[in-house]
Amino acid sequence: MTQLITGIPRSGTTLCCKLLNQRDEVIALHEPINPAAIAKGADANVAFDYIRKQIVVFQHAIENGLPFEHGDKGGLEIENPVGQQTQDGIRQVVARRGQVVLPKRAHGSYQLVVKQNALFTALLGPLSAEFAVTAVVRNPVDVLLSWLTVDLPVNRGRIPAGERFAPKLAAELAAEPSRIRRQWRIYQWFMQQFHQHGVKVLRYEDILVSDGAALDQALGLPSISRQPLTPQHRQFAPEVLDELGSIKAELLAADYYGLYSAEDIAQRLKQYGL
């Protein structure tokens, strides 16, 4: 049965795909569904049906060695869709959507995992009723600092694929003039969706400390030996830290549904001098 991965953008979901693709029996696809391909004006039911049909398309292509659309035309090895090159202090996206072709795989010889963040999160109700879904989260301090410094819609405090099927969220973001508060609302929306629909939630921090074993366990796979995973330490401009610091009180007071404590948040803030 196909499994789905969703998660908060910049929480390590693409890394999860890379770790899963280190297994012979798993094929994990990074953002293979283009939300723009879903008919304009389609409701959540139409979008859900489109996703189901696309999963069948992916399986057929994999089993027959045919091309199919993928979030990075370079193949399955992508670890991070955002590179190190910056423009005006903003890290640029390196992933390029396109078609890939994989060696033929016999039906039943592999476990298909499909990763999609905002689209799957907006449609968690019907998706979680039919598929096993695992959601990946990360400490909001690290997520928001990343959002403030990457060339993605969340940098501007918008999440188009989510807003399209979450009109309340779209209205709230449209009414909020502050970028960091739009970003904070987006983070909360993801967490609330995961909690409301009762999906399995996996912390990025646990994936790192276990060298990927926590991911294997979450998907019901036996652990394998991997190279140690080490967190990257990034430096942020004072104005970026100041923008995050403006919502420090909200970060410390929020409900993270038992996934992060106020102390967890305070420790990360302190590491950045906040």
Residues contacting 140, CB < 8 A, separation 6+: 184, 187, 251, 254, 256, 260, 265
Residue type at position 231: P
Report pLDDT for 85.
Answer: 84
Report pLDDT for 119.
Answer: 98
| Contact between residue 53 and residue 47 where contact means Cβ atoms under 8 Å apart | no
Report pLDDT for 202.
Answer: 98
Strands (E) located in the chain: 3-7, 26-30, 68-70, 82-87, 90-93, 98-100, 111-115, 132-137, 200-203
Question: What is the distance between the alpha carbons of residues 31 and 174, in angstroms, rounded to a whole number?
Answer: 26
Question: What is the distance between the alpha carbons of residues 70 and 67, in angstroms, rounded to a whole number?
Answer: 9
pLDDT < 50: residue spans in the chain: none
Question: What is the distance between the alpha carbons of residues 224 and 26, in angstroms, rounded to a whole number?
Answer: 12
Residue type at position 29: L
Domain 3-271, second-level architecture: 3-Layer(aba) Sandwich (3.40)
Strand order, beta sheet including 26-30: 26-30, 111-115, 3-7, 132-137, 200-203
| Contact between residue 116 and residue 134 where contact means Cβ atoms under 8 Å apart | no
Determine the length of the chain.
Answer: 274
Q: Which residue has the tokens 């090895």?
A: 77
Q: What's the gap between Cα 188 and its chain centre?
A: 14
